[in-house]
Structure 1
Amino acid sequence: MRAPLRWVLWDVKDTLIKVRASVGEQYCKEAEQKGLKLSPADVEAAFRQAYRHYSSTYPNYGISQGLDGQSWWTGLVKDTFSRCRVHEPALLDTMARNLYHNFCNAENWEVFPDSQKALEGCSALGLKLGVVSNFDSRLREILRACGLLSHFSFLITSEEAGAAKPDPVVFEQALQKCGVPASSVAHIGDHYVNDYVASRSVGIHGFLLERHVKQRQLDVPPEYRLHSLEELPSRLQQHVF
């Protein structure tokens, strides 16, 4: 890195936090409170089918088609339960609304053990931090509930940006907020295409987090490959001054 590093951008889901229980388990818990007995495995399979359908038919929360994150997610939840033979409209509306709001709570998310220390370590180096995430507008509240929001100077979600990673538009918006050249910015994420390749395509120094990787991406140099976020501050320190 020729230019001194000034900013670190972060992916969130599966980089800093993860869903605490499976979607099937969490959806079944909501259904059980309404007197329904469903199989978590069946609900999980139905969710994956519904998610693929909604993601392909209404990409990025259907923003370009007049939807928003809440209407996209509530539609997906109702589709999931419908695939499990739950068809009562009022019941579907209630469960979808409850689940949408429940996923703002810290109890449904788990902060990785290395997240806080890595964020604090980067700040201690004098680096400013921002978020670039394929997430809906609930992200700010989720980060606040998880005790992480105060670390960040700004958040860019794909819902608010109107584009999703790997679209370079998202990173270009982030660079505008940073106010420095791409060569003074790093990005950390767990997805090879959305985080590593996409950030590097605009000149940002992409780092790939590989917590539990079954197949390594061979074109990622060792110095840009992380097994844990604990490695990041020392990796970045040589590039700050």
Structure 2
Amino acid sequence: MNIISGIKLVTFDATNTLLKFRMPPWHYYALVAKDYGYTGTETEVKERLIDSYRFMWEKYPNFGKNLIPWDKWWQKVVARTFEGQIPQGKDAEITKILIEQYKTSKLWCVAEGGRQLLNILEKRCINTGIVSNFDPRLHDILRSLGIIKHFKFIVTSYEVGCSKPDKKIFTHAMKRCGLVKPSECLHIGDDVKKDYEAVIRAGWRALVVQSSDTPMAMTEKSPACEHIFPNLLTLAKSIEKSDLKF
């Protein structure tokens, strides 16, 4: 059957699916930190930022929800990333700058084909939403990019208190749209475990868009090749031609 047949809701993951960074985060982190005395390399920032993010997610999951404020969570990420390499106490100033800048189109853009796909779905009267592991700034980002008007709802993991791959976040999204049949919902994302396997377990349909930033980790339950797309533009054209089937 055609992928759009019977679908009443299409949701998107945000980072590396519908949204792309204009520059790698570690590049901008290094730029900002250099104004505060950082003399290390961008490569060092990349390694320490990724490690700090993973450490914080394990210790304080979901941006610290119910444990610490999300902005303090990011401050701890910044502090660990530049530990011993900037003057003491400057991590708070750097974090404030980064938090504000990462709310805007200065550092984010809509992925290639994203606007076209949203327009196609709107013309077909299909509701669209966001389901993403993100902090509350996602609303500001979508507004800055001029696409917030397309979405019936925005579900961030921090605001609802559960994160992908937890099935509850998808159930919450259905309720926001007033739907009760999972088979009427389709999710598009870049992570096989969080945006495909978890979605299928929730009873939804799912498609994967490959990301050059985060190579796809295939598993035993990996998506069929016809459910994987190189970008949103290719997916938009397939839907427009109505030749995408399950």
Same fold, TM-score > 0.5, yes or no: yes
The answer on whether the counterparts of 1:74 and 1:100 sit within 8 Å (CA) in structure 2 is: no
SS in 1 for 2:203: coil
Alignment of 1:136-147 (within 5 A): 136-147=135-146
Q: 2:210 is matched with which residue?
A: 210
Give the letter for the 1:229 counterpart.
L
Deviation at 1:217, TM superposition (A): 5.5
1:98-177 residue pairs with structure 2 within 5 A? 98-177=97-176
- Once the two structures are superposed, what CA deviation does each residue of 1:185-232 show, in whole Å capped at 9, x if it has no partner? 111001001001111111111111124456655742244222222343
Deviation at 1:80, TM superposition (A): 1.1
Give the alignment partner of residue 226 of structure 1, picking from 229, 234, 239: 229
- Could you tell me which runs of 5 or more consecutive residues in structure 2 were left unpaired when the two chains were aligned: none
RMSD between superposed Cα atoms in Å? 2.3
- The answer to whether the 8 Å contact 2:111/2:232 transfers is no
| Amino acid aligned to 2:133 | N
SS of residue paired to 1:47 = helix
Provide the residue aligned with 1:192 in structure 2.
Answer: 192
Q: Which has the higher helix share?
A: 1
- The answer on whether the counterparts of 2:152 and 2:177 sit within 8 Å (CA) in structure 1 is no
Structure 2 equivalent of residue 58 of structure 1: 60
Q: Which of 22, 38, 41 does residue 39 from structure 1 map onto?
A: 41
Decide whether aligned partners of structure 1 residues 191 and 105 sit closer, same or farther in structure 2, where only a CA change above 3 A counts: same
Query: Does the alignment pair 1:29 with 2:28?
Result: no
Aligned residue in 1 for 2:78:
77
Q: What SS is found at the alignment partner of 2:20? A: strand
Counterpart AA for 2:170 = F
Q: Report the alpha carbon displacement of residue 81 of structure 1 after superposing the two structures with TM.
A: 1.1
Instruction: Look up the equivalent residue of 2:137 and give its one-letter code.
Output: R
Unaligned runs of 5+ residues in structure 1 are none
What is the percentage of aligned positions where both structures have the same residue? 28
Which residue does the alignment assign to 2:88?
88
Distance 1:217 1:208, change over 3 A: farther
Contact 1:210 1:227 (C-alpha < 8 Å) held by counterparts = yes
Other structure's SS at 1:106 match:
coil
- Whether the aligned pair in 2 keeps the contact of 1:68 and 1:159 (CA below 8 Å) is no
Task: Give CA-to-partner distance per residue, 1:59-98, whole Å, 9 cap, x none.
Answer: 1111132x1321111121122111x522411x22111111
Q: Do the aligned partners of 2:192 and 2:218 also contact (CA within 8 Å) in 1?
A: no
Residue identity matched to 1:29: L
Amino acid at match of 1:230: L
The letter for the 2-side match of 1:30 is V
